[in-house]
Amino acid sequence: MQRSPQEARPESRTPPSAPSTTPTPAWAAADGSEAAEPIGGLQEYYYELCMEKSQEIKPFILHILQEVDEEIEQGLAGITLNVAGNCHLMPVERVTGEDFWILCRILKNNPYINGLDVKYNLIGDVGASYATELLQEQHNLIYLNLMFNDIGPEGGELIAKALHKNTTLKHLRMTGNKIENKGGMFFAAVLQINSSLEKLDLGDCDLGMQSVIAFATVLTQNQTIKGLNLSRPILYGEQEESTVHLGHMLKENQCLVELHVCKHDIKNCGMKQLCDALYLNRSLRYLDVSCNKITQDGMVCLADVLKKNTTLEVIDLSFNRIENAGANYLSDTLASHNRTLKALSVVSNNIEGEGLVALSQSMKTNPTLSNIYIWGNKFDEATCVAYSDLIHMGRLKSDNTDVEPFVVDGHVYLAEVSNGLKRHYYWTPGYGEACSPSSNAGLTLVPVGQYL
């Protein structure tokens, strides 16, 4: 039976006297080298550090550390310490900057843990300063998730500078931290020096035009970054200058596999800039241009590119306005020319029955397209029957689409199901598999690193 944190460390027990120096972790030998087996455990070390610093002992953290201790006892390695502040399965008290310092001390030189997820907490710029120490001292860490932690430009600068000398971190998520243009410029500068980081997520970070251009410029030379998220920058003007620079980058860069440019206010002119680059690019496999202002004219360019581009496998067009005409352009290309695209999302694009049925018909002649997402458009009975037939004949698997057919009074309807390219980008479910292929198909089809 699994013990609760309170059972593991009763509050009534007399705490040990605080040592005069920082306690030595149980997995480290007296001379500082790593011991072959853990002796005490992370719970014990956390308790001692809290007592030494007169810090409140949080049951939620104790519970998480108990689970990790059990995994270590089973001989598991490559463990991610998940202390997310948005867990709904148990009472959570969010991690502060000082709590984060203790977590960093626990992780220092720990050979069993190589990932840390502290999303949706309150570590702030204080915690960012401790994260810099972690990046400098923990040489096993390959994944760090700091999304939505109230980190500002100063904290972003500290973390970026710590990456100048770090040679192990492969995936960093800064999503939702308002590092602004200043912080973005420091991260762009890092990519000129760092040669280990493979995936960087700066979505919803209030980046400015200057930092977006800086990233596009740096990536013409960087040959390490495989996944980049620059979604929702703060841009002004109607000239779509960012797409000009991103297009030039895609012509030069032959390493980038995954690019997210949601909420860039991209219109048809900007889409043409990206499509012109995709004629020459031979590495990009996942393009996310959701939540923009692309219409049917932009689909003329994309459909033509898909006739010749042989690398794109996932395209996310969700929350644009391609309508029937745009859907028809895509379906014609998918039916007769393209045989490399695996997943297409046209969620909420004001497409009616004609366009949706055309896309379903293209799947009958295209053996490669396996995933299609259509919820949020205008379904008529012909649409419902078409996708019901695809599912029932086995051409479209139920896990590979976001609709499910049902029948009422002899009429077929479609209901929404929780599948998509990145349904769990901002959140994880309260039950079931957090990284299930059906809900995060983009990451399954185009895996860039181990984590979201």
pLDDT per residue over 362-421, tens digit each?
A: 999 999 999 999 999 999 999 999 999 999 999 999 999 999 999 999 999 999 998 899
Bridge partners, residue 28, by sequence: 34
Closest Cα partner for 233 from 287, 292, 275, 294? 292
DSSP at 96: B
The pLDDT score that the predictor gives to residue 431 is 66
The per-residue pLDDT for range 75-94, each reduced to its tens digit, is 888 899 999 988 767 777 89
Q: Which domains does the chain have, with CATH numbers?
A: 76-445 (3.80.10.10)
Lookup: tokens for 21: 């120096």
Average pLDDT, the chain: 88
CA torsion sign, 210 to 215 to 219 to 223?
positive
Q: Which of 163, 162, 173 is nearest to 129 (CA)?
A: 162
Q: What is the pLDDT of residues 248-288, one digit of tens each?
A: 999 999 999 999 999 999 999 999 999 999 999 999 999 99
pLDDT digit string, tens, across residues 114-168: 999 999 999 999 999 999 999 998 888 999 999 999 999 999 999 999 999 999 9
**Mean pLDDT calculated for residue range 49-70:** 90
DSSP secondary-structure letter at 56? P
CA atoms lying within 13 Å on the CB side of residue 450: 13
> Tens of pLDDT along 278-332?
999 999 999 999 999 999 999 999 999 999 999 999 999 999 999 999 999 999 9
Tell me whether residue 261 is exposed, middle or buried, using C-beta atoms within 10 angstroms of its C-beta: 0 to 12, 13 to 18, 19 or more.
buried
